[in-house]
Amino acid sequence: MKQTKLQLFTTLIITFLFVSCSESIVSECETDIKVDNQMRASFKDIQEKVFTPSCATSGCHGGSFFSYPNLEKENAYTNIVGKNNSTGTMKLIEQGNSTSSYLYKRLLGEGGSLMPRGGPKLNQSILDSIKVWIDNGAENN
């Protein structure tokens, strides 16, 4: 009987820790996207105004083992352009084709949960800039 109570207590503690940790990870990803409406359709602007402040964070795409793809400034371009998504079914960014780019679809809320995780959805001018960048060849500019 004492063994069962200890197992129950241990299970409750582990569950509590898991739930509290997962909530803090999600809250770290729930950042407001504060970007001016004059974002250029360039990788530099997308990195500086979207990926770095909203995606490349702890618990999201900040470089840990579980944060595929790594969207930190020094790694993002080579990790997403022309690379397959985690299931290998689509390119994360297919140069010249935003409608076939998995990352862009996720920013729209298609093909999985909306990114950035926890929302809000990026404003239309930001989405338009990302679309134009991809459709223009997704250069490292």
Residue 127 lies in a domain: yes
Structure tokens at 128: 């338009």
> Quick check: 63 and 55 in contact, CB under 8 A?
no
Task: State which residues form the domain around 132.
Answer: 40-141
Of the pLDDT bands very low, low, confident and very high (cuts 50, 70, 90), residue 63 is: confident
Q: pTM of the predicted model, to two decimals?
A: 0.70
Residue 20 lies in a domain: no
Structure tokens at 31: 């950042």
Instruction: Give the pLDDT score at 102.
Output: 95
Residue 100 lies in a domain: yes
What is the rounded distance in angstroms from the CA atom of residue 83 to the CA atom of residue 94?
8
Instruction: Give the pLDDT score at 30.
Output: 37
Residue 135 lies in a domain: yes
Residue 1 lies in a domain: no
* Helix, strand, coil distribution of the chain in percent, nearest 5: 50, 5, 50
Tell me which of 78 and 66 has the higher pLDDT.
Answer: 78
Residue 34 lies in a domain: no
- Burial class of residue 108 in the structure, from the number of CB atoms within 10 Å of its CB (0-12 exposed, 13-18 middle, 19+ buried): middle
Instruction: Give the pLDDT score at 20.
Output: 37
Residue 125 lies in a domain: yes
Tell me which of 91 and 61 has the higher pLDDT.
Answer: 91
Nearest Cα to Cα of residue 138 among 79, 57, 86, 67 = 79
The mean-pLDDT minimum among 5-19, 68-82, 124-138 falls in 5-19
State the first-to-last Cα distance of the chain, in angstroms, to the nearest integer: 66
pLDDT higher than threshold 60 for residue 90: yes
Nearest Cα to Cα of residue 67 among 53, 82, 79, 83 = 79
Structural domains counted in the chain:
1
Sequence-distant (6+) residues with CB within 8 A of 90 are: 84, 100, 101, 102, 105, 111
8-state DSSP, 87: T
Structure tokens at 18: 């898991």
> Quick check: 30 and 119 in contact, CB under 8 A?
yes
Instruction: Give the pLDDT score at 65.
Output: 64
Instruction: Give the pLDDT score at 67.
Output: 73
pLDDT higher than threshold 90 for residue 84: yes
Instruction: Give the pLDDT score at 32.
Output: 38
